[in-house]
Amino acid sequence: MIERTLIEEFSKIVGSGNILTSEESLKAYSYDGTTTWMHQPDVVLFPKSAEEIAMVVRIANTEKIPVTPRGGGSCLSGGPVPIQGGIVLCTTRMDNILEVDRTAMVAVVEPGVVLMNLNNRLAKEGFFFPPDPQSFLSATIGGVIAENAGGPACVKYGVTKQYVRGIDVVLPTGELITLGGKALCCGAGYDLLSLFVSSEGTLGVITKAIVKINWLPADRKTILAVYDDVAVAGENVYRVLENGVIPGKIELIDNWVINRFEDMMQVGLPRDADAVLIFEVDGPPEAVEVETKTIVEVATKHGAREVRAAKDENEAGRYWAGRRAGFAAVFGAAATVMAEDVTVPRGQIPALINKCRELSKKYDVEIVMLGHAGDGNLHPSILTDISNKEHYGRAASAMDEIFDVAVALGGVISGEHGIGLEKAKAFSKTIDPEVFELMKKVKTFMDPNNIMNPGKIWPQL
C-alpha cells in the first residue's frame, strides 16, 4: 500500500485530473491484452512530460515503490500487469507527434502515440512506419519499442529495433537521458540505445522516440495460396524467398483458424484447406507485377492447390481484415489461450509445424496456428482452460515441448511478445548462462532497488 501522503504528492506532480485511485479504475489497469494475469496497482498516473515522470520515479526509487510503465496495455505476456502493485505509469496522455522530418526521414514522437494515429499522420506526407503489430489500433510507440514488436510487414521491412534512431529515457533512479538522435550513424561507444529496445519496461521509461520512416510503396497486391497440407504451406514460405522475391508480408492461417474466420465474418477463405498463405507484394507497379507472377509460379510448382491474386482492393481488404481479427478468433474460442511466440529459421518452419501436430495428438490438445510465417513466427496457440487443472497441465507440457523444439531447431521462444511474467524459465534455457547472468547484472546495476516493472523477465530478483 502506498501511503496517502505520497499519493497526494503524486497528484500534485501530475495534476489531480491525471490520477486514478478508485477501485473500479484500478481494476481496469490490472491486466494486459489477455486476462491471464491480474493484479491491481495502488495508483494509476498519467504524466504529461518527461519531467513529471522523472519526479515520480525519483520518489518511487527512494520509497521502493514498484513502477509499471504502460502504453496501450495490449501486451500478450503480462508486461504492463502491476504484479507487485505500486504505480502504473500510463503514457497515453503523452501522445503528440512532435515532428515529421522529411529530409532525415524520421518522426519524433511522444511515447503514448498510437501506431495507427502515427501512420494516419505519416500517410498524409507519403510515409509510413513499417513495424505493424496487429494491435496497431491501440499499441503505442513506447510499448512497441519496449517489446521490439514485429508484425506481417517485418519479413521485408524488419522489426522495431531497426527503426529506433533515438530515445529519451527516465532511468529507474530518476535521471533523464538522451540516446541516439536523427543522424543515421550515432556511432561511438556502447550501443546503450539498443539496451532499451525489448527491455519490457524493466530498465526505465521511454519518454520520447525518434523513429525511422519509409516512403509508402506506390503499389501493392495481395495473393492467396491454398494448401492441402499446412507443412507444405510452411515450406512455400522459403521457396518464394529463395526464388528472389521478398514479399512485403507472408502470413499463414491453418484450417482451424480459417473456419473460425469464416464463422465470424465470411472472409471467403476455403474451409476445406489445411492452410492458406496470404502474401502481399509492394513497390513500384512493374516490380509488383513481376513479383506477383513469380509467387503464383513458385507456389503452384511447390504444391499449392490454388493460387490467386486478389482481383481488387475489396477482395484484398477482406483477407487482411480477416487476418487482423485473428486474435479475437483464437482468444474467443477458449477460456484460456496459451498464445505463444516461438520463432524458427524459415527453413525449419515445416519441422515446427509437424512437431506441433505430433504434440497436439500426444497431449490431446488443440494447437492452432496463425502467424507471421515470413518471419518464421507461427504463433502456435493452445486452447485450454486454466480452471481445469488436468487439461491445463497437458497444455503446459505441450507448450514446454514446443519451446524445446523451437530452440533445438535454432529458434527462440519469443519472437515479438517478450518474456513478461511466465517465460523466464524457458528464456534461461535458450541463452548461455553467462549471457543470462550478464543481462541480470545490467538490470541490478541500473535498477538497484528493483522498482522498474518488477516480476517481469527476472521473477527471481
Ligand X SMILES: Cc1cc2nc3c(=O)[nH]c(=O)nc-3n(C[C@H](O)[C@H](O)[C@H](O)COP(=O)(O)OP(=O)(O)OC[C@H]3O[C@@H](n4cnc5c(N)ncnc54)[C@H](O)[C@@H]3O)c2cc1C
Burial environment of residue 284 by CB neighbours within 10 A (0 to 12, 13 to 18, 19 or more): exposed
Q: Which of 41, 66, 73, 455 binds ligand X (CB under 6 A)?
A: 73
- Nearest approach, Cβ of 358 to ligand X (angstroms)? 26
Contact 148, 197 (CB under 8 A): yes
By the rule CB under 6 A, 168 interacts with ligand X: no
Q: Which stretch binds ligand X (CB under 6 A): 62-70, 173-181, 303-311, 402-410?
A: 62-70
Site string for ligand X, 28-47 (x = CB under 6 A): ----xx--------------
Cα separation, 401 vs 18, in Å, equals: 45
Q: Which of 130, 150, 166, 374 binds ligand X (CB under 6 A)?
A: 150
Q: Which is nearer to ligand X, 139 or 338 (CB)?
A: 139
- Nearest approach, Cβ of 172 to ligand X (angstroms)? 11
Burial environment of residue 410 by CB neighbours within 10 A (0 to 12, 13 to 18, 19 or more): exposed
By the rule CB under 6 A, 253 interacts with ligand X: no
By the rule CB under 6 A, 166 interacts with ligand X: no
Cα separation, 180 vs 175, in Å, equals: 16
Single-letter residue type at 357? R
Q: Which of 68, 222, 236, 336 binds ligand X (CB under 6 A)?
A: 68
Sign of CA dihedral 316, 320, 323, 328: negative
- Nearest approach, Cβ of 89 to ligand X (angstroms)? 8
Going by their DSSP bridges, the two strands 370-371 and 336-339 should be labelled as unpaired
Q: What are phi and psi of 371, to 5 degrees?
A: -160, 180
Element (H, E) at 280: strand 275-283
By the rule CB under 6 A, 414 interacts with ligand X: no
Q: Which of 41, 47, 66, 71 binds ligand X (CB under 6 A)?
A: 71
230-242 vs 349-363: helix crossing angle, rounded to 10? 170
By the rule CB under 6 A, 201 interacts with ligand X: yes
Q: Which of 69, 248, 322, 380 binds ligand X (CB under 6 A)?
A: 69
Q: Which is nearer to ligand X, 111 or 304 (CB)?
A: 111
By the rule CB under 6 A, 144 interacts with ligand X: yes
Strand partners, 250: 279
Q: Which is nearer to ligand X, 139 or 288 (CB)?
A: 139
Cα separation, 121 vs 99, in Å, equals: 11
Q: Which stretch binds ligand X (CB under 6 A): 4-12, 71-79, 234-242, 423-431?
A: 71-79
Cα separation, 380 vs 440, in Å, equals: 29
**Look-up: residue for cell 521502493?**
64
By the rule CB under 6 A, 72 interacts with ligand X: yes
E strand intervals along 16-163: 19-20, 43-45, 67-70, 87-90, 97-101, 106-109, 127-128
Q: Which three cell numbers stand for residue 24?
A: 473500479
Give the distance, in angstroms, between the CA of residue 420 and the centroid of all CA atoms in the same chain. 12
- Nearest approach, Cβ of 301 to ligand X (angstroms)? 30
Contact 45, 56 (CB under 8 A): yes
Q: Which of 30, 61, 74, 292 binds ligand X (CB under 6 A)?
A: 74
Pick out residues in 310-369 that bind ligand X (CB under 6 A): 327
By the rule CB under 6 A, 88 interacts with ligand X: no
By the rule CB under 6 A, 416 interacts with ligand X: yes
Q: Which of 47, 80, 130, 374 binds ligand X (CB under 6 A)?
A: 80
Q: Which stretch binds ligand X (CB under 6 A): 15-23, 141-149, 299-307, 356-364?
A: 141-149
Contact partners, residue 206, CB within 8 Å, separation at least 6: 69, 111, 141, 142, 145, 146, 167, 168, 169, 196
Q: Which is nearer to ligand X, 110 or 282 (CB)?
A: 110
Residues that bind ligand X (CB under 6 A): 32-33, 68-76, 79-80, 91, 111, 133-135, 138-140, 142-144, 146-147, 149-151, 200-201, 205-206, 327, 416-417, 453, 456
